[in-house]
Amino acid sequence: MWQSTASRRQFLPSWCIVIIRTKSQGSLTLENLNPNIIKLQYAVRGPLVIRAGALIKELAGGSSKPFNKVILANVGDAQAMKQQPITFIRQVVACASYPNLIKSGSMPADVKQRAKDILKSCAGQSVGAYTMSHGIELIRRHVAEYIEQRDGHKANWQDICLTAGASNGIKHVLELFCNKVDCKPTGIMIPIPQYPLYSATLTEFGIGHIRYYLDEDKGWALDINELERSFTDGSKTHAVRAIVVINPGNPTGQVLKRGNIEDIIKFAHKKNLLIFADEVYQANVYDKDSKFFSFKKVMTELGAPYSCCALASFMSISKGYTGECGLRGGWMELCNMDPKVQEHLYKAMSAMLCPPTIGQIVCDCVAKTPCCGEPSYELWEKERCAVLDSLKERSEMIVQAFNGMKGFKCNKVQGAMYAFPRIELSSKAVEAAKAAGKAPDVFYAFKLLEDCGICIVPGSGFGQKPGTYHFRTTILPQKPLLKEMLDTFQKFHQKFSEQYP
Amino acid sequence: MWQSTASRRQFLPSWCIVIIRTKSQGSLTLENLNPNIIKLQYAVRGPLVIRAGALIKELAGGSSKPFNKVILANVGDAQAMKQQPITFIRQVVACASYPNLIKSGSMPADVKQRAKDILKSCAGQSVGAYTMSHGIELIRRHVAEYIEQRDGHKANWQDICLTAGASNGIKHVLELFCNKVDCKPTGIMIPIPQYPLYSATLTEFGIGHIRYYLDEDKGWALDINELERSFTDGSKTHAVRAIVVINPGNPTGQVLKRGNIEDIIKFAHKKNLLIFADEVYQANVYDKDSKFFSFKKVMTELGAPYSCCALASFMSISKGYTGECGLRGGWMELCNMDPKVQEHLYKAMSAMLCPPTIGQIVCDCVAKTPCCGEPSYELWEKERCAVLDSLKERSEMIVQAFNGMKGFKCNKVQGAMYAFPRIELSSKAVEAAKAAGKAPDVFYAFKLLEDCGICIVPGSGFGQKPGTYHFRTTILPQKPLLKEMLDTFQKFHQKFSEQYP
């Protein structure tokens, strides 16, 4: 490291200094880089995805490949897979961005009114002005109303904070935890498999990962005994201070039962844990026997003392039926957070000024949808249903296809946007992977990409029980493409199994 | 702290446990909150601004105040102060967000073409899709071309990274530094006065502030001897690894001379420091004897070995003539960064997915402006000049007014968007402030707000030489409002001086 090197230089002959200078040149090197940044991994955009990007370029440049297109099934990005945006949302965004359109006759009256109302809440009546760091008050109020309608319980708009996507909010709340309490490292409980934002951000902040395993054999159920086991084990080395629950599950697609949520809340209360309720897929429930219950609702209905649990619930405009990933918007609701802590959180967020206004506007459209009778209602309802119905159909298609493939086992996709099948890999395949210097599931995924142009994320990016192999694929390719993808996949797997019997 | 408390409980009688539980209830309390978050201060949105927000609400609610409006001169938010957005930019944003507008006849042809080109570069041809974490390739290429035209030297588009505003990029690069190197705490050199994003973020990451003072008596000049002094002093306790330079200056408004920049680069090279060149006000130079030179240009023209300095330069859509703060966009150019370090930086950024697409689109419009002869050119040029001419006029108005006030001394505003006058406060005023439990400049600013509704930021939020008092005001209120503000200010100061002679 250059600093120590510099101080040691005085004792060295000059030819040594030249060598050291060459080796440690530069103010930022791998040797003195923040080690948490080096350790951080984010599989959803990892080496496979970088390779997929290169393949897309190679194809565009006329290279010959065994496939004619790359299918990006690695990321929950509906519009990248040709899902059409909701017209109402885009009209409101266009009117608010270019208010001349409000004067023109071609936009529906409710769109114009919505844009006007939002602009009235912006400083200088412009989306180009900064907003409060926790978002535009009018929109925070609409979000509180949405939550009240969803849960049947009071929501305080002051506890709603708009964010540049759910990830951004989650990161801000995770940062509130210091990495040590009385010399004991802090730990936060995360499900395995998990969405890698959590592992990445915990690593970034030097916070320990206290893993609890979801039960694949019971449809990725969350077992309270496993929470107890995880907490007890984790507490030997860490001050365990919070628990992350993703419902509906990512990458696992399960939807928690109400009784299960009650047990988790009781557990969190007993152990004095803050609950991170990642509920960004709350509108994405496809299974007829499943229903989404928010942690806030269940906690409130459990009554005291459980209703006093500290809870942060996260929502996004990137998922649901909107899929507005690129516009970066979301919100969080903070329940029972120490008001002084909440003040510090809002203060820390203020250094990044504000979430993007356009993302905030989409939050408004998600929270306060067109009402029956308003000019935009019919089209909005039609578009929304078309998206959700099609997602439901695709969630069934994919599970059926995978379960029809030898060596595959795939739980029902009750909700969210992913399937996470388990694959059996022969010892020959495992050996070949080892020889290639890759984890077996990574080896499989790379081969699938290079042979077929299908980009998925290996299970190791989310965590899996040792000795098991999985991958995550989205259910987002539109039906004809999804069918093509599943057919190709089937052929690939057959060939792979023959190659590594 | 609750964790230690829990472990101590076994030795305590049960009535004690009840008390401890009440006191330390909750998984996140002031006692176990990340101490860096507690320490972090961001004056631009601090208590004064919160009070200003409350006053606006009170006025709207019909409360009687000694003023009829609040003037927010605290934040560089041009559109909040009624600066009109650039039509071309908003038309492109509207067309890209709602592509039906591309088909309609009412938008200029170059606007439609721009929106089409951008959409072609988006996954699924939609602004609702995620982009690469470092931004849309087409826009990164346009930014590289902008930099090449600005500097007359090659820029690699792969080293351009689009961000959700400059602050976001600065934070990502600051995070690359670990807070310790070989047990010695890391320190980064920052100017005093400085933009509080730096102090806030360094505190957040536990990195030391190594202060170098700008010379107020020489128009806030940056003196190399002072850099040497600061580095030498800082090195006693810290591993000093980078230097922040803000040019044009915020809050100080100076524009660095080329020779000065050369000296800073030579200094950084000698000390092996990464240079953070905060150049977000590069389009905001008003003084006829001043000219903006980028660090990249000067470094390149100095040649080896200086042209090999590690440099990160930052730009924003929130400033310049665009003032699109709310849309959150900006870029950074990374020069001579170790490629492996750069890879880790891009990886870490990927966990936050991507900067908002709309902000990226505005980056495109700033980097590639309408050309002479294109349909949007004339209006664009007219609007751009109107903004910059008016800012120049206001920068002169404000300096003249302050220098006409007894006890005020204000340097020329050569660039950026702020004046940072020095004020003399009598010992009576200092005593009164002490009695009120406030720093003298904070006391003054609060009084100005409560008496006149004018919101400024006290100098202590930016740092100032001990015993001196300043405040930052923007030059952004439109001319009639600025005139009114300066008149009110003058009367207030006279009254204040009489009250505390």
**Of B1, B130, B326, Cβ closest to residue A127:** B326
Q: How many CB pairs under 8 A join A and B?
A: 310
Q: What number is the average pLDDT over the span B47-60? A: 92
| Whole-number pLDDT of residue B180 | 84
Q: Which fold has domain B43-82+385-499?
A: Aspartate Aminotransferase, domain 1 (3.90.1150)
Whether A137-367 and A43-82+386-499 are alike in CATH topology: the answer is no
What the block records as the tokens of B501 is 């002679």
| Whole-number pLDDT of residue A43 | 77
Q: In chain B, whose CA is at the least distance from the CA of A81?
A: B124
Task: Tell me the per-residue pLDDT of B329-359, one tens digit each, with 9 for 90 and over.
Answer: 999 999 999 999 999 999 999 988 999 999 9
**Of B79, B167, B310, Cβ closest to residue A124:** B79
What's the CATH class of domain B137-367?
A: alpha beta
Q: What number is the average pLDDT over the span A82-110? A: 96
Q: Do A23 and A9 touch, CB atoms closer than 8 A?
A: no
Nearest to B225 by CA among B216, B215, B217: B215
pLDDT of residue B23 exceeding 70, the answer is: no
Q: How far apart are CA A357 and CA A97, in angstroms?
A: 10
User: What residues form DSSP beta bridges with B409?
Assistant: B422
Average pLDDT of chain A?
93
| Non-local CB neighbours of A119 within 8 Å, separated by 6+ positions | A96, A99, A125, A126, A127
Question: How many CB atoms are closer than 10 A to CB B212?
Answer: 23
CB-CB under 8 Å, B338 with A26: yes
pLDDT of residue B106 exceeding 80, the answer is: yes
Q: What number is the average pLDDT over the span A27-39? A: 92
Using DSSP bridges, classify how beta strands A71-72 and A454-455 pair: parallel, antiparallel or unpaired: parallel
Using DSSP bridges, classify how beta strands A457-458 and A469-474 pair: parallel, antiparallel or unpaired: antiparallel
Best A57, A97, A272, A306 member to test B by mutation, with max B CBs in 10 Å, is A97
Q: What is the CATH number of domain A43-82+386-499?
A: 3.90.1150.10
pLDDT of residue A9 exceeding 90, the answer is: no
**Following CA atoms A170, A172, A176, A179 in sequence, which dihedral angle do they give, to the nearest 10 degrees?**
80
Task: Tell me the per-residue pLDDT of A383-438, one tens digit each, with 9 for 90 and over.
Answer: 999 999 999 999 999 999 999 999 999 999 999 999 999 999 999 999 999 999 99
Split at pLDDT 50, 70, 90, the class of B26 is low
Q: How far apart are CA B192 and CA B212, in angstroms?
A: 6
Split at pLDDT 50, 70, 90, the class of A442 is very high
CB-CB under 8 Å, A165 with B352: yes
pLDDT of residue B382 exceeding 70, the answer is: yes
| Whole-number pLDDT of residue A25 | 55
Q: How far apart are CA B236 and CA B259, in angstroms?
A: 29
CB-CB under 8 Å, A124 with B81: yes
pLDDT of residue A193 exceeding 60, the answer is: yes
pLDDT of residue B155 exceeding 60, the answer is: yes
CB-CB under 8 Å, A132 with B32: no
Q: Phi-psi region for residue B266, left (φ > 0), alpha (ψ -120 to 50) or beta?
A: alpha
| Residue B182 one-letter amino acid | D
The interface pTM score, or ipTM, of the predicted complex is 0.94
**Following CA atoms A159, B2, A37, A314 in sequence, which dihedral angle do they give, to the nearest 10 degrees?**
-20
Nearest to A413 by CA among A277, A290, A282, A276: A290
Q: How far apart are CA B360 and CA B89, in angstroms?
A: 11
In the DSSP assignment, the letter for residue B86 is P
Task: Give the distance from residue A173's alpha carbon to the nearest chain B alpha carbon, in angstroms.
Answer: 10
CB-CB under 8 Å, B131 with A326: yes
CB-CB under 8 Å, B336 with A26: yes
Split at pLDDT 50, 70, 90, the class of B181 is confident
Question: How many CB atoms are closer than 10 A to CB B120?
Answer: 9
**Of B28, B122, B182, Cβ closest to residue A274:** B28
DSSP A112-134: HHHHHHHHHTSGGG-TTS---TT
Q: In chain B, whose CA is at the least distance from the CA of A239?
A: B3
Least confident segment among A106-120, A395-409, B38-52, B381-395 = B38-52
Split at pLDDT 50, 70, 90, the class of A26 is low
B333-345: string of b/e by CB count within 10 Å (b at 16+)? bbbbbbeebbebb
Percentage of residues of chain A with pLDDT beyond 90: 90
| Phi, psi dihedral angles at A62 (to 5 degrees) | 95, 5
Hey, which bits of B268-349 come out as E strands?
274-278, 311-316, 330-335
Task: Tell me the per-residue pLDDT of B199-241, one tens digit each, with 9 for 90 and over.
Answer: 999 999 999 999 999 999 999 999 999 999 999 999 999 999 9
Nearest to A423 by CA among A442, A438, A396: A442
| Whole-number pLDDT of residue A179 | 82
Task: Tell me the per-residue pLDDT of B393-434, one tens digit each, with 9 for 90 and over.
Answer: 999 999 999 999 999 999 999 999 999 999 999 999 999 999
| Non-local CB neighbours of A326 within 8 Å, separated by 6+ positions | A79, B122, B126, B127, B128, B129, B130, B131, B354, B356, B357
Residue position matching structure tokens 């190791």: A460
**Of A196, A274, A359, Cβ closest to residue B356:** A359
Q: How far apart are CA A420 and CA A471, in angstroms?
A: 6
Task: Tell me the per-residue pLDDT of A219-273, one tens digit each, with 9 for 90 and over.
Answer: 999 999 999 999 999 999 999 999 999 999 999 999 999 999 999 999 999 999 9
Q: What number is the average pLDDT over the span A298-318? A: 97
pLDDT of residue A19 exceeding 60, the answer is: no
Average pLDDT of chain B?
93
Q: In chain A, whose CA is at the least distance from the CA of B271?
A: A27
Best B27, B237, B250, B334 member to test A by mutation, with max A CBs in 10 Å, is B27
- Domain limits of chain A? 2-33, 43-82+386-499, 137-367
| Whole-number pLDDT of residue A4 | 38
Task: Tell me the per-residue pLDDT of A448-498, one tens digit each, with 9 for 90 and over.
Answer: 999 999 999 999 999 999 999 999 999 999 999 999 999 999 999 999 999
pLDDT of residue A46 exceeding 90, the answer is: no
